[in-house]
Amino acid sequence: MENTANQPIGIFDSGIGGLTVAHAITQVLPLENIIYFGDTAHLPYGDKSTAAIQAYSVKICDMLLKQKVKAIVIACNSASAAAYELVREYVGSKAKVLNVIDPTIRYMGQHYAGQRVGLIGTKQTVFSNIYRKKTDELDRDITLCSLATPLLAPMIEEGFFNHNISQNIINEYLSSPVLADIQALILACTHYPLIKHDIESYYKENVQVLDSSLIVAESLQNLLAENNLLRTENPQPTKRFYVSDYTESFEHSTKYFFQEEVQLEHYPLWE
């Protein structure tokens, strides 16, 4: 079936961190229906193997395709690094596919040629070297300085942000010599927008902190427009939020990530 503008947008992440991307999408594209899937049964993806992440991603995309989505946004840096090419091949012409890495790389190429840019993310994202590889392919003389910050995502999941404990951990990471003399810092994890203020406080506005969620949302808008898939009217947009493993703590945390109350539905994809 050919995609139509009235079909929903599918978004998935290893957990609820991708709700920062989902929120940005609803702000940029308020007329669109969205379906979000958080694979909370397997979070975090940051310490999973490439093969495992690929298997999870394909199964989630299969579920989203059954929901007749017109586009799938991989709202997870680890899954974008490990599974984007496989997902794009698997989905084929059934839906447009967007990851969270390529739009950020394009933005960096447009604004930071010849400069030093820092990046913080999970071990999987950083050690995959996907950002470094794509940055080198830009041929814009950008020096990318990447640092794995594995404590940040679980810290945020547990609600430790805007707090003395979180600030101490953030300061410890950002003081690494790896990030010395950078002009900008990429937040290469969908959890990190929640600590963007703390990171900006550390740099005292001397470094531009790049939250990729808005960059991704605007890139999705352009992709849909190019393919005549933008919804032009919708009096009551719907938002569905599924998780593969439900706990009350996830429900409680969602309002921080999505910035409004969210009703989570348990979807036992792995049973």
Which residues participate in the annotated binding site for substrate? Answer: 13-14, 45-46, 77-78, 190-191
Q: What residues contact 214, with CB distance under 8 A and at least 6 apart? A: 24, 27, 28
Q: In the annotation, is 76 catalytic?
A: yes
Active-site residue identified among 21, 35, 76, 87: 76
Residue 3: Cβ within 10 Å count: 18
Separation of alpha carbons 155 and 165, rounded Å: 9
Q: In the annotation, is 145 catalytic?
A: no
**Strands (DSSP E) found in 137-200:** 143-148, 184-188
Separation of alpha carbons 259 and 100, rounded Å: 20
Question: Annotated binding site, which residues?
Answer: 13-14, 45-46, 77-78, 190-191
Active-site residue identified among 189, 207, 215, 269: 189
Please count the residues of the chain: 271
Of the candidates 138, 142, 136, which has an alpha carbon nearest to the alpha carbon of residue 114?
142
DSSP 259: S
The catalytic residue positions are: 76, 189
